[in-house]
Amino acid sequence: MKFIEEISKKGVSCLLPIYKDEFGNITEIIDKSGETYTAYKTLKTVLKLICKYYGVDIKSVRQKYSKIINRKNIIPLPLSQDLILIPFKMRKPIFLKDGSYGYINIFSIENIYSKKGNTIIKLYNEKEITCISKLKTAREHYNNGKAILNDISFKSQYNPVLDINYLYEELNSPATKGDIAVLKKEIKEIKETLKQAEIK
């Protein structure tokens, strides 16, 4: 756990599932500066340890934000105001339980583009991560992360008193799919509240 704490303090850039002959299914961690570490544990275990460090319950977070982006799986994980981990398909697993997804911090992504038929995620630390998803799919995952980042409930979690100028700016900007999903959820909740009030 101390190892995870040290890397988390430096800033997690990405978590990559890898295979090593002598160790099997393990995890490569890259911090914000570009330094690479090897965790001799599965990515699933490393992810749980990072969530524990931030005091976040993975299941609850996935349930909450799946409603915002209107998806049941491949949900970005917002763990803090500077760490939103977006899942990207990184490999074809040897065994089903090994997992195929890695996670990249949205704040570490500089660009997503195609290079020689491969989808590349370029990080601000100059690292280039190859993703086996199509370019369009990878960008959709990134946009889901942005929808969570721009969600007012996520922002207010870390900034309880939101600046009025920010609110005016948000109200004057075009609605995204994430915005519409949030609006639908809120309308549904209002309808349910009104229904309960009528029953009473």
What confidence score (pLDDT) does residue 48 get? 95
| Domain spans of the chain, in order of start | 2-199
Query: Can you give the pLDDT of all 200 residues of the chain as single tens digits?
Result: 688 889 999 999 999 999 998 899 999 999 999 999 999 999 999 999 999 999 999 999 999 999 889 999 999 999 998 999 999 999 999 998 899 999 999 999 999 999 999 999 999 999 999 999 999 999 999 999 999 998 867 777 776 555 445 545 555 556 666 566 666 766 776 776 666 655 44
Q: Which one-letter amino acid corresponds to residue 55?
A: G
Neighbours of 187 (CB within 10 A): 10
C-alpha span between 118 and 165 (Å, rounded):
41
What phi and psi, each to the nearest 5 degrees, are found at residue 192? -65, -40
* Integer angstrom CA distances of residue 134 from 13, 99, 114, 144: 21, 18, 9, 16
The string of DSSP letters for 89-115 reads: E----SSGGG-SEEEEEGGGEEEEEEE
Dmax (CA) for the chain in angstroms is 65
Measured in whole angstroms, the distance separating CA 36 from the mean position of its chain's CA atoms is: 20
Terminal-to-terminal C-alpha distance of the chain: 51
